[in-house]
Amino acid sequence: MSEKVMVQAIDINKSYGSNHVLKGITLEVNRGEVMCLIGPSGSGKSTFLRCINHLERVDGGRLSVDGVIVGYREHNGKLHELKPSEAAKQRSGIGMVFQKFNLFPHMTALENVISGMVRVQKIDKDLAIKEGKALLERVGLGDKAAHYPAHLSGGQQQRVAIARSLAMKPKLMLFDEPTSALDPELVGEVLDVMKELAQSGMTMVVVTHEMGFAREVADSLVFMDNGVVVEAGKPADVLGNPQHERTKSFLSKVI
């Protein structure tokens, strides 16, 4: 695998019982690249994203992040699943932002951001507080450090969630429809933070319905349907001149 590749998926398959959700997904994401995954609900986008950090285990194929097989150790040509503690340690280098913000309601914004730094990375609390405040400033919430999630808007909560992921200094960020649970007028503030992240060189894989964001920020765009990659390429090409009828049909409904 080339050193410039951050994520490599080869023939990834995943089933839930008789439901074959991912049917041989093969793709690569380079360092510093922003890849957007688009497609109808149920096409396998979120499942694939969760496979990248082993929240879902794959049934077939091979998935690597930064040259390391995700969730498994290879020994004598065979793959052995990592212990939960080992998988969690591996996962700590991959930030993930969900549709729901998943903040701890009993913690302030700052406490949410630094919880992983203190508990998992064992960083000195004073240093964590300093870094946490800087991260809240970065996402435009420097004045909300002492606020609890219940007193923040959905957009603000999602920006706290992004800051919390960044606190772990990830090499890769995964976003699973991060704006889908937000009121329309709050979407822009979250997308602005994601644009800044992209400009800073963060490698990102984003499941999204925000076609404007995909067109403006993504380096590559992947259209998935029914568990397969139907079409992939530069956003301007896929959105402006789709080659497959299924892509054309989908885009005609969302653009």
3-state secondary structure the chain: CCCCEEEEEEEEEEEECCEEEEEEEEEEEECCCEEEEECCCCCCHHHHHHHHCCCCCCCEEEEEECCEECCEEEECCEEEECCHHHHHHHHCCEEEECCCCCCCCCCCHHHHHHHHHHHCCCCCHHHHHHHHHHHHHHCCCHHHCCCCHHHCCHHHHHHHHHHHHHHCCCCEEEEECCCCCCCHHHHHHHHHHHHHHHHCCCEEEEECCCHHHHHHHCCEEEEEECCEEEEEECHHHHHHCCCCHHHHHHHHHHC
Can you give the pLDDT at residue 131? 96
Give pTM, 2 decimals: 0.94
Give 61-111 pLDDT, tens digit per residue: 999 999 999 998 888 888 888 888 888 888 889 999 999 988 999 999 999
Can you give the pLDDT at residue 151? 97
Give 204-249 pLDDT, tens digit per residue: 999 999 999 999 999 999 999 999 999 999 999 999 999 999 999 9
Give 157-209 pLDDT, tens digit per residue: 999 999 999 999 999 999 999 999 899 999 999 999 999 999 999 999 999 99
Can you give the pLDDT at residue 223? 98
In this predicted structure, the answer to whether residue 24 has a pLDDT above a threshold of 90 is yes
Can you give the pLDDT at residue 1? 64
